[in-house]
Amino acid sequence: MILEGRGLAIGYPGRRVGEGLDMALAAGRATALLGPNGGGKTTLLKTLLGLIPPLAGEVRLDGVPLAAIPIRERARRIAYVPQSQGAGFGFTVFETVLMGRTAFASPFARPSTSDEEAARTAIARLGIVRLAERPITEISGGERQLTLIARALAAEPAVVLLDEPTASLDFGNQGRVLREIGALREAGLAVLFTTHDPNQALRHADAVAAIRDGRMIESGPARDILLRERLERLYGTPVEEVREGERRAFLPG
């Protein structure tokens, strides 16, 4: 296990969001985090990133408590792809991806040539070279999401945590982003992504964890967890299952 959280209670001082949570991420495996809105998915992600300390339990990176790892060292190992927001300054795609190398230089130093090289490599890997000099405020939501994934990869991390990487993307861009997530797994990274769509988990994740009201109500291999009756319980709504041979898909309602 690269990144492991045990017996986590998550939340903020005076506001406990969830407890009794276990999470283990291994190299070359993707885990999907499912669950209704407000159930604690993003808070768990931030706890695993070390952005907020767990209220109980411990997160370990390669066996070392996360709290004992300096922020820059941690940023080189665990990358974060936040929910993409439209607002902000219109930095170019290249400038944005270069920020993924923040942890590699002193606060007063300009990015080195190897930092720029890593940024260019990440941009090429995501297939967005033609966008490199475009402001991120002028590209599509899907392209912005690919830029943020490139920024995460620029740090050459071992673990990538993605917060709803396909939220507010159109159908085609969802496909592009999910293919890239699959590629990260193929490349040997430990991947965790949150999603609202059980079908994405079914197709792109090895393991699934489901959180509701701050408790982990399901956790295990994707094929065992993603069953109609379990999804109905998780989301509190009827679910229809579509089967074709070995392949399954779920339709809400």
Binding region for other proteins (CB under 8 A): 12-14, 46, 49, 51, 71-72, 74-76, 78-80, 82, 85, 87-92, 95, 99-100, 102-105, 107-111, 133, 135, 137-138, 151, 155
Query: In angstroms, what is the minimal distance from the CB of 207 to other proteins?
Result: 23
In the complex, the smallest distance separating the C-beta of residue 200 from other proteins, rounded to whole angstroms, is 23
| Cα distance between residue 73 and residue 102, in whole Å | 11
Backbone angles phi, psi at 224, to 5 degrees: -85, -30
Q: Would you say 22 or 73 has its CB closer to other proteins?
A: 73
Q: CB 36 → other proteins: shortest distance, Å?
A: 22
**13 vs 245, which CB is nearer to other proteins?**
13
| Cβ-based nearer residue to other proteins, 133 or 241 | 133
CB nearer to other proteins: pick between 137 and 237 = 137
Q: DSSP assignment of 177-202, as one string? A: HHHHHHHHHHTT-EEEEE-S-HHHHH
Count CB neighbours of 32 within 10 A.
26
CB of 103 to other proteins, least distance (A): 3
C-alpha separations of 40 from 122, 129, 184, 225 in Å:
30, 36, 25, 19
How many Cα atoms within 13 Å fall on the side-chain side of residue 252?
9
What is the length of the chain?
A: 253
Between 151 and 212, whose beta carbon lies closer to other proteins? Answer: 151
- Report the nearest approach of other proteins to the CB of residue 66 (Å): 12
